[in-house]
Amino acid sequence: MIDEWGGRSTSAASDPVVERADSVQYELDEGPCLTAWAQRALVRIDDIESDGRWPRWCRAVQPLGLRAAMSTPLVAGDRPLGAIKVYARQPGAFDTRAEGRLVMFGAQAAILLANVQSFEIARRLSDGLKDALRGRDLIATAKGVLMARDGSTEEPAFRMLVALAQQEHKTLREVAHALVKSTVRRGH
Protein backbone atom coordinates (compact mmCIF):
# COMPACT_ATOMS: atom_id res chain seq x y z
CA MET A 1 0.00 0.00 0.00
CA ILE A 2 1.14 3.53 -0.66
CA ASP A 3 0.35 5.89 2.22
CA GLU A 4 -0.57 9.58 2.04
CA TRP A 5 3.12 10.56 2.26
CA GLY A 6 4.23 8.21 -0.50
CA GLY A 7 5.61 5.57 1.85
CA ARG A 8 5.17 1.94 0.88
CA SER A 9 4.22 -0.81 3.28
CA THR A 10 2.33 -4.06 3.54
CA SER A 11 -0.90 -3.57 5.45
CA ALA A 12 -1.50 -7.26 6.03
CA ALA A 13 0.13 -10.51 5.03
CA SER A 14 -1.07 -14.07 5.33
CA ASP A 15 2.42 -15.42 5.96
CA PRO A 16 5.88 -14.11 6.94
CA VAL A 17 7.18 -15.30 3.54
CA VAL A 18 4.66 -13.02 1.81
CA GLU A 19 5.66 -10.13 4.04
CA ARG A 20 9.33 -10.71 3.20
CA ALA A 21 8.62 -10.89 -0.55
CA ASP A 22 6.84 -7.55 -0.30
CA SER A 23 9.63 -6.00 1.77
CA VAL A 24 12.14 -7.01 -0.89
CA GLN A 25 10.09 -5.12 -3.48
CA TYR A 26 10.24 -1.96 -1.37
CA GLU A 27 13.95 -2.39 -0.68
CA LEU A 28 14.83 -2.95 -4.34
CA ASP A 29 12.15 -0.63 -5.72
CA GLU A 30 11.06 -3.29 -8.19
CA GLY A 31 8.59 -6.14 -8.36
CA PRO A 32 5.13 -7.16 -9.53
CA CYS A 33 3.17 -5.37 -6.81
CA LEU A 34 4.90 -2.03 -7.38
CA THR A 35 4.45 -2.42 -11.14
CA ALA A 36 0.74 -3.26 -10.77
CA TRP A 37 0.31 -0.14 -8.65
CA ALA A 38 2.34 2.14 -10.92
CA GLN A 39 0.84 0.90 -14.20
CA ARG A 40 -2.63 0.34 -12.77
CA ALA A 41 -2.75 -3.05 -14.42
CA LEU A 42 -2.76 -6.69 -13.42
CA VAL A 43 0.68 -8.32 -13.36
CA ARG A 44 1.11 -12.09 -13.50
CA ILE A 45 4.32 -14.07 -13.14
CA ASP A 46 3.99 -17.67 -14.21
CA ASP A 47 7.48 -18.63 -13.05
CA ILE A 48 9.58 -16.37 -10.86
CA GLU A 49 12.75 -18.31 -11.77
CA SER A 50 12.45 -17.47 -15.47
CA ASP A 51 10.70 -14.08 -15.42
CA GLY A 52 13.04 -11.31 -16.57
CA ARG A 53 11.06 -8.19 -15.70
CA TRP A 54 12.42 -7.76 -12.15
CA PRO A 55 15.70 -9.71 -12.05
CA ARG A 56 16.92 -8.53 -8.64
CA TRP A 57 13.54 -9.15 -6.99
CA CYS A 58 13.15 -12.57 -8.63
CA ARG A 59 16.61 -13.65 -7.45
CA ALA A 60 15.95 -12.35 -3.94
CA VAL A 61 12.63 -14.19 -3.46
CA GLN A 62 13.64 -17.53 -4.96
CA PRO A 63 15.06 -18.77 -1.61
CA LEU A 64 11.61 -18.08 -0.10
CA GLY A 65 10.16 -20.88 -2.21
CA LEU A 66 7.85 -18.65 -4.23
CA ARG A 67 7.43 -19.62 -7.86
CA ALA A 68 4.41 -17.65 -9.14
CA ALA A 69 2.81 -14.32 -8.30
CA MET A 70 -0.07 -12.17 -9.37
CA SER A 71 -0.85 -8.59 -8.36
CA THR A 72 -3.61 -6.15 -9.21
CA PRO A 73 -3.87 -2.46 -8.36
CA LEU A 74 -6.32 -1.07 -5.83
CA VAL A 75 -7.76 1.98 -7.58
CA ALA A 76 -10.64 4.10 -6.32
CA GLY A 77 -11.82 6.64 -8.88
CA ASP A 78 -8.57 7.93 -10.32
CA ARG A 79 -6.52 7.37 -7.15
CA PRO A 80 -4.19 4.37 -6.88
CA LEU A 81 -4.27 3.17 -3.27
CA GLY A 82 -1.89 0.24 -3.50
CA ALA A 83 -2.03 -3.29 -4.82
CA ILE A 84 -3.10 -6.71 -3.69
CA LYS A 85 -1.10 -9.78 -4.53
CA VAL A 86 -1.05 -13.52 -4.24
CA TYR A 87 1.90 -15.85 -4.37
CA ALA A 88 2.19 -19.57 -5.08
CA ARG A 89 4.88 -22.17 -4.48
CA GLN A 90 4.19 -23.85 -7.86
CA PRO A 91 4.95 -22.27 -11.24
CA GLY A 92 1.92 -21.65 -13.47
CA ALA A 93 -0.46 -21.59 -10.50
CA PHE A 94 -2.56 -18.73 -11.91
CA ASP A 95 -4.68 -18.60 -15.07
CA THR A 96 -7.02 -16.08 -16.71
CA ARG A 97 -9.86 -17.11 -14.41
CA ALA A 98 -7.69 -16.39 -11.36
CA GLU A 99 -6.76 -13.06 -12.94
CA GLY A 100 -10.43 -12.12 -13.29
CA ARG A 101 -11.16 -13.06 -9.71
CA LEU A 102 -8.23 -11.07 -8.34
CA VAL A 103 -9.19 -8.02 -10.43
CA MET A 104 -12.80 -8.20 -9.15
CA PHE A 105 -11.62 -8.67 -5.58
CA GLY A 106 -9.17 -5.78 -5.98
CA ALA A 107 -11.91 -3.46 -7.25
CA GLN A 108 -14.12 -4.23 -4.25
CA ALA A 109 -11.20 -3.98 -1.82
CA ALA A 110 -10.29 -0.57 -3.28
CA ILE A 111 -13.80 0.72 -2.63
CA LEU A 112 -13.66 -0.51 0.96
CA LEU A 113 -10.17 0.93 1.48
CA ALA A 114 -11.18 4.30 -0.01
CA ASN A 115 -14.20 4.43 2.30
CA VAL A 116 -12.08 3.60 5.34
CA GLN A 117 -9.54 6.25 4.36
CA SER A 118 -12.30 8.83 3.82
CA PHE A 119 -13.76 8.02 7.22
CA GLU A 120 -10.34 8.30 8.85
CA ILE A 121 -9.67 11.66 7.18
CA ALA A 122 -13.07 12.94 8.32
CA ARG A 123 -12.44 11.68 11.85
CA ARG A 124 -9.04 13.38 12.01
CA LEU A 125 -10.52 16.60 10.67
CA SER A 126 -13.34 16.43 13.20
CA ASP A 127 -10.87 15.75 16.02
CA GLY A 128 -8.72 18.66 14.83
CA LEU A 129 -11.68 21.00 14.75
CA LYS A 130 -12.79 19.89 18.21
CA ASP A 131 -9.27 20.44 19.49
CA ALA A 132 -9.13 23.90 17.90
CA LEU A 133 -12.47 24.82 19.48
CA ARG A 134 -11.29 23.59 22.88
CA GLY A 135 -8.15 25.71 22.48
CA ARG A 136 -10.18 28.74 21.51
CA ASP A 137 -12.48 28.21 24.51
CA LEU A 138 -9.49 27.76 26.83
CA ILE A 139 -7.92 31.01 25.62
CA ALA A 140 -11.26 32.80 26.03
CA THR A 141 -11.55 31.46 29.58
CA ALA A 142 -8.00 32.58 30.39
CA LYS A 143 -8.80 36.06 29.02
CA GLY A 144 -11.86 36.09 31.27
CA VAL A 145 -9.74 35.17 34.29
CA LEU A 146 -7.34 38.03 33.56
CA MET A 147 -10.18 40.47 32.91
CA ALA A 148 -11.82 39.56 36.24
CA ARG A 149 -8.55 39.56 38.16
CA ASP A 150 -7.12 42.78 36.72
CA GLY A 151 -10.30 44.62 35.85
CA SER A 152 -9.14 44.94 32.25
CA THR A 153 -10.92 44.59 28.93
CA GLU A 154 -10.53 41.77 26.42
CA GLU A 155 -7.74 43.27 24.28
CA PRO A 156 -5.29 43.99 27.14
CA ALA A 157 -6.00 40.55 28.61
CA PHE A 158 -5.20 38.92 25.27
CA ARG A 159 -1.99 40.95 24.89
CA MET A 160 -1.00 39.84 28.39
CA LEU A 161 -1.48 36.17 27.43
CA VAL A 162 0.56 36.65 24.24
CA ALA A 163 3.36 38.39 26.14
CA LEU A 164 3.42 35.62 28.75
CA ALA A 165 3.56 32.97 26.03
CA GLN A 166 6.49 34.71 24.36
CA GLN A 167 8.29 35.24 27.66
CA GLU A 168 7.92 31.57 28.67
CA HIS A 169 8.52 30.23 25.12
CA LYS A 170 5.21 28.40 25.21
CA THR A 171 2.14 28.36 23.03
CA LEU A 172 -0.78 30.61 23.79
CA ARG A 173 -2.81 27.52 24.57
CA GLU A 174 -0.24 26.20 27.07
CA VAL A 175 -0.16 29.52 28.91
CA ALA A 176 -3.96 29.73 28.94
CA HIS A 177 -4.19 26.17 30.28
CA ALA A 178 -1.70 26.89 33.08
CA LEU A 179 -3.53 30.09 34.05
CA VAL A 180 -6.96 28.46 34.14
CA LYS A 181 -5.60 25.44 36.02
CA SER A 182 -3.89 27.60 38.69
CA THR A 183 -7.05 29.66 39.08
CA VAL A 184 -9.21 26.57 39.56
CA ARG A 185 -6.74 25.19 42.15
CA ARG A 186 -6.85 28.42 44.14
CA GLY A 187 -10.64 28.39 43.98
CA HIS A 188 -11.00 31.79 42.34
Give, for all 188 residues of the chain, the pLDDT tens digit.
554 435 566 776 778 888 899 899 999 999 999 999 999 999 999 999 999 999 999 999 999 999 999 999 999 988 888 899 999 999 999 999 999 999 999 999 999 989 998 999 999 999 999 998 898 999 999 999 989 988 889 998 899 999 999 999 999 889 999 988 988 777 65
Residues in contact with 71: Cβ distance below 8 Å, sequence separation at least 6, in sequence order: 32, 33, 35, 36, 37, 42, 43, 83, 84, 85, 86
Give CA–CA dist 122/186, Å, rounded: 40
Residues in contact with 183: Cβ distance below 8 Å, sequence separation at least 6, in sequence order: 145
- Residue 90, SS3? coil
| CATH number of the structural domain 96-188 | 1.10.10.10
pLDDT at 70: 97
Strand partners, 76: 79
Handedness of CA 20, 23, 29, 31 (dihedral sign): positive
Instruction: Give domain limits for the chain.
Output: 1-94, 96-188
Which one, of 139, 133, 129, 131, lies nearest residue 177 by Cα?
Answer: 139
**Exposed e or buried b for every residue in 100-125, given b needs 16+ CB within 10 A?**
eebeeebeebbeebbeeeeeeeeeee
Give CA–CA dist 98/81, Å, rounded: 21
pLDDT at 5: 39
The CATH class that applies to domain 1-94 reads alpha beta
Complete DSSP assignment for 70-87: EEEEEEETTEEEEEEEEE
pLDDT at 4: 45
pLDDT at 183: 85
Cβ distance 76 to 110 under 8 Å? yes
